[in-house]
Structure 1
Amino acid sequence: MIYHIPWIYTPLRTVMAIWHQLIKTEIPELSKGSVLIRERSRVEETLQAMRRAGVSSLQVISDFDRTLTRFTHNGKTVATTHNILDNRLLMNEDATRKMKELLNTYYPIEIDSNRSAEEKLPLMVEWWTKVHELLIQQKIRKDMLTQAVKESNAMLRDGYKEFFEHLAEHQVPLLIFSAGVGDILEEVIRQNQVFHSNVHIISNYMDFDQTGVLQAFKGPLIHTFNKREGALSHAAGLRELQGRPNVLLLGDSLGDLTMADGVSKPHNILTIGFLNDQVEERKELYANSFGIILVKDETMDVPNAILRYITSSRDNK
């Protein structure tokens, strides 16, 4: 549906009221109880600008664990890519215990709203370095990863199929930055049959020896609070991202907000934050940081609705 508004003769306040109603009508998902938007007018203006620019100007940048994947299902926490490695096929009981100890020590620090990113950064490096060292000691076999993913409770968010397929259909690049394990991440996407050619992954990848045994991790460590460096170093090399200055960014951590720093000359960036736990403690901080906040929302309803809105105009390029 195309709306023609006589801009010259319509007072600005009236124009904004009309646009507000159009957004409300065309993206009713933004009225869900789980949605928080502090600066609604700015979000609406960004959506309008992204729609006018067309789908050829759009790229999507997303975190993976607890962003594209669910946080909980039937009252149980869903496995992250690192959790999936906590499988008897891959790790012994002692290593499993140590992994849980590390999680219980460092995860509260990662989500502590009273600590700055600068304070957290060295501790995150410490955490993931210890995890990777522990995994290497287990001599994990590459040929067991597929089965470990199958046996896990890893789940993409409800509506994931529409999300991945809509982006693929419109040839919109999906750049996934993850502090998790890239090999596991790829396997989760592949087993859900949505690993399309427009998907690009920047993560921590395992390095296997000639016998298929884990011997190291490739490249520099990627963690929650250094995604800016990853964005700057990798995004410039992806030809598919050139000429796409409009960004839809999805994350569940404040560190994810830097994932768009590698975008060349950005025009419009709309950020969506999944606030999965410790809602009351972190709500204010998230509301001041993300354009749209989704509180304990295990679906892709809002991102999907936004993508439909951006790509639905007949004037889209």
Structure 2
Amino acid sequence: MQKFDRRQLLKTAAAVTAGAAVGAIGMPPLTAAAAGGGISHPNGAQQALPKLLTPNTPLTPNTTYSTLSGSDFKPSESADGYVQNDQLYIYPATATSGDFRARFPVPNGAVITEAVFWVVNNDASGMNFFAPYRFMFDGTFQTYGFAAQTAASPNLVAVTVPVTPVTVDNTANSYWAVVTFGVTTGAQQLYAARLGWLLEPGLTTFANPRRIYGDGTLLSPGQPVLHVDATKKTDGTPSGVPAGAKAAFCAVSSYGTGAISLYKDGDLDNGIGAWASQGTAGNGVNQGYNLVPLSTAGKFSFTNYFTSKAMYFDVWGFLV
């Protein structure tokens, strides 16, 4: 298999994720180790085995997860040495120009939406994380998420990678998590990595509606409303619609009459009346159910037509 080129990885990271934020989340306190069960660190100290990795990384509803341990990762260069501890963590033992990587067995047709790595990074040289990383069988590759951990700390932390959702096509591609280290002293260690994806194509419905737009603001004829985030309710909490969904299933309502067009965030207004009502304004509620098209980030836009009116969007589910 063709190796991953470290310098090319870093160039790709700069192009894809300039300015991307990295979330470093402190892990729970380490539990007392059983007799003989401590982890021998390069500095000679004994550290207890960590608790399960999931409590401090919130799980998204309707998302499927797969987690690999640090020992599942191997260097891309066969000559590079590494230290592996009891199927738990791994780090390079010799100078390397390559990286460490592991392949995730993600089902065909799934949409990868999340990635997180658990690491110790106790060196200012930093670590870089790429996931999901798509390797194509013609020798090319593409990364859909990148994060860099530069803050030095002896503690185990979770690094969340901002992901551009990607649909899995296993016919000519494989999907990986990739890590580059800055030192070989053991001050940087990889404990685990996790990917999350939407597994079942089709419509997922909720037991109750969640309002994602609508505060009574009166819209003028021809006024566009841009960047509505269907993944969050109007109070800022998650709506249950994941980034990567194709559409949100919404009850679209107004006390006024007229029409609106609906389109993915970032697209041009298509000018098509996706929702419309007629009658005497103010004499009832006009409501319809629409599959609202979403961008990969889970956002949409709409334009108000013909009449002044306030609009309301309540999501009842989503389409993958």
Q: Which has the higher helix share?
A: 1
* Greater C-alpha radius of gyration: 2
Instruction: Report the TM-score range of the alignment, normalised by the length of the smaller protein.
Output: under 0.3
Q: Using CA pairs under 8 Å that are at least 6 residues apart, name the structure with larger relative contact order, 1 or 2.
A: 1
Q: TM-score, normalised by structure 1?
A: 0.26
Q: Which has the higher strand share?
A: 2
Q: TM-score, normalised by structure 2?
A: 0.26
